[in-house]
Chains A and B, each alone.
Chain A
Amino acid sequence: MTEYKLQTPGFDARFPQQNQTKHCYQSYLDYHKCVALKGSDFEPCKVFWHTFQSLCPHDWVENWDDEREKGIFPGDLSIDQFKDKTEEKKE
């Protein structure tokens, strides 16, 4: 038997409501922004991945992935604002 760790996204103060739709969606956006900024091997990005993986229905994620591939994803995935800050820090 494989080892399992019972772990799931916990309480998030930004989403205390019964309605968790935004929790799922924001994590999806955050993950893809994170990957675009830091690369898919960057460990902290995985937190977002696990969160949206656990909260979003599979169909939704598939749908969004398709939309991103076709370039018609309506969400804001721009990372320019974050880029400036990281570059400023380096300087």
Chain B
Amino acid sequence: MYKYIAKYFLISKVFKFCSLTAFPALLIGLVAFTISAYFVIFELPADAEQYEIYRILFIHVPSAILSELIYIFLAVNGFIFLVWRTKIAAIFLNSAISIGLVYTAIVLASGSIWGKPTWGTYWVWDARITSTFILLIQYIGLIALRSSFNSRQTADQILSIVAIIGAVNIPIIKFSVNWWNTLHQNASITTSGSAIDSEMLIGLPMMLLSLLFISFFIFARNIQFEILNRTGKTAMMREIING
């Protein structure tokens, strides 16, 4: 099975795919983001208790979902790299770290801004917020680690191992609100339905999709630079930077 999948992930094919899809993805993402942002800010009704400040939800929740999904993606790629030694997995891993870091920072910042008027504080060391803060440190650690080795092979292996170890934190973040007493509320959307009114709920998938497209653009560009870096084609790199 590995062979059938692997032939679609040849480095040259991935590079070509990225250069073809990156710009359209950015275009779609920006248009979708503008529309969704207008929609959630001006069209959706205000919340009964929190009034307008609840709109932060539409940047907070998609970022939270992405920050965790990207980390799972890192760990899966680390696993594939360790088992099959496929370079492309290491390239994916390296390319996604910075995006995850940005989303984790957005989650913490937006949560803080929302917390002051609703909870009455910017920050509290409860289980959910602390574990998310640890996720931020994990991303920073991965970025620091990436450039700490002379050999690329060693760096990829260590990065994969650390990414897999860190994945332990993901279920902790997810279930922290159920396992411990926290100030952060429980999940609103569960298997038994949504505690967010259906009228407002539509804003979440809209924002999530637009952010996915924008992230894909950054991800694809990161992959291209990573590949060029590894193959040492500096002339081609210059060409891309200059357009």
Pairing of A with B: no
Interface positions of B (Cβ within 8 A of A): none
